[in-house]
Amino acid sequence: MLPAVVQPQKLVNVMAPIEGIIEECFVAEGQQVQAGQVLARLESSPFDGKNLALQRQSRSARERSQEADSDLSAARIDAARADEDAARAQTALAAASSAYQKQKMLYQNGVAPRLEFENAERTFRMALADSESLSALARQAHDQVESLSRVAADARRAAEDMAKSGSALAPAELDLRAPVGGIVMARVARAGDAADPQTGPAFRIATDLHRLDAIAAAPPAAMRWLRPGLAAEVEIPGPVGVPLRGLIREVGTGGRIIAGFQSQNSTIAPGTRVRLIVTRPSAP
């Protein structure tokens, strides 16, 4: 008895018909789809690869502009906080300075003890140091805002220039549709990915969920007698029932075996974990 996983025998590969960029995907793995249903939208040039390169460059320029704007917004928030900290430090310094001057005058006139004067002086100098440090940080924050403002402005201009460059060759949008009905077994395509007829399928759709395979890994000892054509049984987890009969279709060199079987039970979906039973044939 071997642990196995169910996979459909028949898969239809859905390829991108032309070179382009996946703009948006509309289905997920495991989703039921109908023939003709839109799986994804492909953006490509109706002429040649020049527009595709411009689209990529334009998208990259837009992303850089958005990142620069985000950095600038964060820097402005930091600068505002630094200004608040510096303002509070200035207020504290003014209070400490007033108290220090008062204690200094009283001490010089012999009214206040030396200890109170020294404490006031110490508090004043600490407040002065804090104020100078926080004021310097505020100036640095504003310098950063100024620098990022230039970066953001340059990035926006670059994005606008790229958009103008690509406007002469308007992109063509193509809907990538399911050629058959079934269940999406694999969604290779992701928004922003490049796709073309040579890069492999964008989607894989299972069309017949009644003809299935149970795929298992056999121990090395069993590989001496396992062979295609041997009878096999597939036990489905859950309530006790009659195992489904099948045949070994393939025995791989790495111990991978595939048993084909048929099922009318719609709950046995691809990915279901099952148990595969293969009886060793009797020696002649």
Q: What is the mean pLDDT of each run of 10 residues along the chain (284 residues)?
A: 87 85 88 91 63 69 87 89 92 92 88 87 92 90 90 85 62 80 86 82 86 89 88 80 85 87 75 87 68
CA distances from 272 to 102, 186, 204, 217, 267 (A): 84, 15, 18, 16, 9
| Predicted local distance difference test score (pLDDT) of residue 48 | 46
Distance, C-alpha 136 to centroid of its chain = 39
> Structure pTM?
0.47
Q: Cβ(5)–Cβ(198) under 8 Å? A: no
| Predicted local distance difference test score (pLDDT) of residue 171 | 55
The first and second tokens of residue 8, run together, are 């459909």
Residue 173, strand partner residues = 43
d(CA 275, CA 35): 33
d(CA 112, CA 218): 95
| Predicted local distance difference test score (pLDDT) of residue 88 | 93
Homologous superfamily (CATH) for 2-9+206-278: Efflux pump adaptor protein, beta barrel domain (2.40.30.170)
Domain at 11-45+172-205: CATH code? 2.40.50.100
